[in-house]
Amino acid sequence: MSDDRLRRELRAAVSPAEMPPGLAERAFRAAMAAASAPFADRFVVTARRAALVGAIATALVWGGLFLRGAPAESGSASAQLDPAEEALAVWAGEEAPGGD
Amino acid sequence: MEKESLAPLAERTRDGDPAAFRQLVDATSERIYRLAFHLMRDRDEAEDVVQETYIRAWQRRGDLRDPHAVVPWLSRIARNSARDRLRWWRRRPDRARVEVESAAAVPAADAQLVEAERAAEVRRALDVLSEKHRVILLLREVEDMSYEQIAELLGLPLGTVESRLHRARAALASKLEKKR
């Protein structure tokens, strides 16, 4: 079979590739989008870690404040109550003689 | 755009310049599409291969050693992407791949029917040809690419292109002769 005939038969059997319009643009955009995907993945992992560390740190700070602050508060509360009670007692004591 | 003018773009792409990469895509995507089309023999599949090629090329731009050989480098990526897709298709249980794109329209008369049958024979003969013979033959005879363009695209010496084409023509002719 001659080369010419082979060529004719091939051209009759297989169509030439016609590049779809806009393919270069789509390929470029796909490459850029795929390149930014790993960064996005890394960002999500980093953000999760940061959130976890932040939550633990906040819990520790509040826990520490609670543990340190509770006795002081209770101490001051008693300190504030005692004078009040004392004052009430004093008032009651003063009123009692006058009222009676 | 010739090899020499692509080299600076390839160099800048390797350095991570998206604008240069954009120009490189514009300058090379048609050749890569033709190759992908004849590897996959389906327009949509070829389009996917082209996109995958440039995604991989951008991700692996640091691997490009010789900026003057950017076209063979891209074509190697395209051939690997095409093989990956074909392998994926073969693993699928419903291997309903779209038939080879045909140049012949639906036949309306006997003569057209004969032509369509002959075209189908040629496509079946192409199916059993090795990939390297089939692709080089289609790039030359259907896409009308010059020997130099094929050599650049496939990263082959000119002599190899000539000898491979000769063997490919002989192989296809012998398969078609047998069917007569």
pLDDT of residue A100: 47
Chain B residues with CB-CB distance to A24 below 8 A: 25-26, 29-30
> How far B95 CA lies from chain A's nearest CA (Å)?
22
Q: What is the DSSP letter of B155?
A: T
* pLDDT score recorded for residue B148: 93
The first and second tokens of residue B115, run together, are 């032509």
Query: Which residue carries 């599409």 as its tokens?
Result: B33
Which of A7, A14, A34 faces B59 most closely, judged by CB atoms?
A34
Measured between alpha carbons, how far apart are the two ends of chain B, in Å?
43
Please give the backbone phi and psi of residue B144, each rounded to the nearest 5 degrees, phi first: 60, 35
Which candidate in A3, A11, A19, A29 is best for mutational testing of the B interface (most B CBs within 10 A)?
A: A19
Report the sign of the C-alpha dihedral through residues B17, B22, B23, B29, in that order. positive
What is the C-alpha separation between B149 and A84, in angstroms, rounded? 101
Residue type, B167: R
Compute CA B86 distance to the chain's CA centroid, rounded to the nearest angstrom: 13
Question: CA B129, CA B101: separation in Å to the nearest integer?
Answer: 17
Question: Cβ contacts of residue B155 below 8 Å, gap of 6+?
Answer: B69, B71, B72, B73, B75, B76
- β-strand partners of A14: B102
State which residues of chain A have pLDDT below 50: 96-100
Instruction: For Cα atoms A29, A32, A33, give the angle at the middle one, nearest 5 degrees.
Output: 85
B36 token code pair: 């992908």
**Amino acid symbol at B91:** R
Contact A13 B119 (CB under 8 A): yes
Looking at the complex, does the CB of residue A44 fall below 8 Å from at least one CB of chain B? no
> How far is it, in rounded angstroms, from Cα B26 to Cα B28?
6
Burial (CB count <10 Å: 0-12, 13-18, 19+), residue A11 = middle
pLDDT along chain B (180 residues), means of 10: 78 95 96 93 93 96 92 94 89 59 56 82 91 93 93 93 95 83
User: B120 and A13 in contact by Cβ < 8 A?
Assistant: yes
How far apart are the two ends of chain A, measured CA to CA in Å?
139
Please state, in angstroms and rounded to a whole number, the distance separating the CA atoms of residues A95 and B33: 105
Rounded to an integer, what distance in angstroms lies between the CA atom of residue B45 and that of residue B33?
10
pLDDT of residue A38: 62
Residue of B nearest to A33 (CA): B55
